[in-house]
């Protein structure tokens, strides 16, 4: 039976299945127990599995992320929730200096099977300290894998894949895609009830095309699809690639699609400088055949200014369909 779930429901189901199948799995974070998480992702899990496995922590990101390091070294498999990725900035020492590096520094003797889940993104007027995506900040550091699902099926499958490995993963969930009733937009999609995995580091073609390629992740995938539908009526065929994983990045898929269409646009909700769009440009340029054949490259990203509280100003700086269409129409 084709069963539809919202993204927050799909992630909740994945977490439940992980808790059921492995006693070493523990969840921890602010308000994830009795409250069920700021975006309802952990609803009902503490009631079912107890407060020893679904742990409400104090409001101290550095404290509970540091605690997850000790748990992992002691043999547990922590899944940590950051209410917002922005709050991870106050916990950079445990994330970057310990979680990302201890495996390397111990010569592989220490394994840290930690998944850090974090809500990301803007488009709802929550200002500069609550609306960032920070893809590239974390992808910059060796030792962290960075995953960004754009639909409920991938959210569950990527989470189960991330949690079964022995290396740390930053799992970034866009707030506009959760599907909770108090947020606009939201996604629903077919999600099998049984366990399944989606491999990390594999991008997905979500729309075939021949006149240009749009690379995107998270909520930006939906903006790209809306733009692709708009230009279809003008006779332009856009290919849309959902990157799904930013580290590892699917370079093979990027080069193949760029080689096929000859024109590339990267839609990146992160800040423009030193980010995803620059990384993709570099990988295109480093491949001789692609560099020789590419006819156009452009990016629609967030300019290098803090995200405004004012929603009209926020809408003006974040990637949107109109900015994507401006680029694509300039190609014709």
Query: Which of the residues are catalytic?
Result: 130
Helix (H) / strand (E) containing 264: strand 263-271
Q: How is residue 166 written in tokens?
A: 């022995």
Cβ neighbours for 105, distance < 8 A, ≥ 6 positions apart? none
What CA–CA distance (Å, rounded) separates 276 from 30? 29
What CA–CA distance (Å, rounded) separates 25 from 159? 13
Helix (H) / strand (E) containing 118: strand 115-120
Residue 272: CB atoms within 10 Å: 16
DSSP state of 176: G
Q: Would you list the DSSP string of 155-174? A: HHHHHHHHHHSSS-EEEEEE
What CA–CA distance (Å, rounded) separates 72 from 85? 21
CA-wise closest residue to 118 among 159, 78, 151, 86: 86
Length of the chain as a residue count: 332
| Cβ-count burial 106-115 (b if 16+ within 10 Å, e if not) | eeeeebbbbb
Cβ neighbours for 288, distance < 8 A, ≥ 6 positions apart? none
Longest dimension (CA), the chain: 59
Query: Is the CB of residue 49 less than 8 Å from the CB of residue 19?
Result: yes
CA-wise closest residue to 61 among 36, 95, 24: 95
């Amino acid at each position: 039976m084709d069963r539809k779930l919202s993204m927050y429901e799909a992630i909740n189901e994945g977490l439940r299945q992980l808790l059921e199948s492995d006693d070493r799995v523990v969840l921890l974070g602010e308000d994830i127990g009795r409250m069920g998480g700021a975006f309802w992702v952990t609803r009902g899990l503490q009631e079912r599995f107890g407060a020893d496995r679904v742990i409400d922590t104090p409001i101290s990101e550095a404290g509970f992320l540091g605690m997850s390091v000790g748990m992992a070294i002691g043999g547990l498999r922590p899944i940590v929730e950051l209410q917002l990725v922005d709050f991870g900035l106050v916990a950079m020492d445990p994330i970057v200096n310990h979680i990302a590096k201890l495996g390397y520094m111990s010569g592989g003797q220490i394994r840290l099977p930690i998944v850090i889940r974090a809500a990301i993104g803007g488009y709802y007027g929550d200002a500069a300290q609550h609306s960032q995506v920070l893809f590239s900040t974390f992808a910059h550091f060796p030792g962290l894998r960075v995953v960004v699902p754009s639909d409920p099926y991938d959210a569950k499958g990527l989470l189960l894949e991330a949690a079964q490995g022995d290396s740390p993963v930053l799992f970034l969930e866009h707030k506009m895609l959760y599907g909770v009733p108090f947020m606009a937009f939201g996604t629903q999609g077919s999600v099998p009830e049984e366990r399944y995995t989606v491999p990390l580091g594999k991008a997905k073609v979500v729309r075939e095309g021949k006149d240009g390629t749009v690379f995107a992740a998270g909520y930006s995938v939906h903006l790209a699809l809306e733009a692709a539908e708009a230009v279809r009526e003008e006779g332009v065929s856009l290919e849309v690639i959902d990157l799904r994983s930013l580290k590892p990045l699917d370079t093979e898929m990027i080069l193949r699609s760029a080689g096929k269409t000859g024109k590339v646009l990267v839609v990146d909700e992160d800040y423009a400088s030193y980010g995803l769009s620059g990384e993709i440009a570099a990988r295109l340029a480093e491949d001789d055949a692609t560099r020789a054949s590419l006819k156009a490259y452009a990016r629609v990203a967030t300019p290098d200014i803090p995200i405004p509280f004012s929603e009209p100003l926020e809408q003006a700086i974040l990637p949107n369909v109109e900015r994507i269409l401006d680029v694509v129409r300039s190609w014709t």
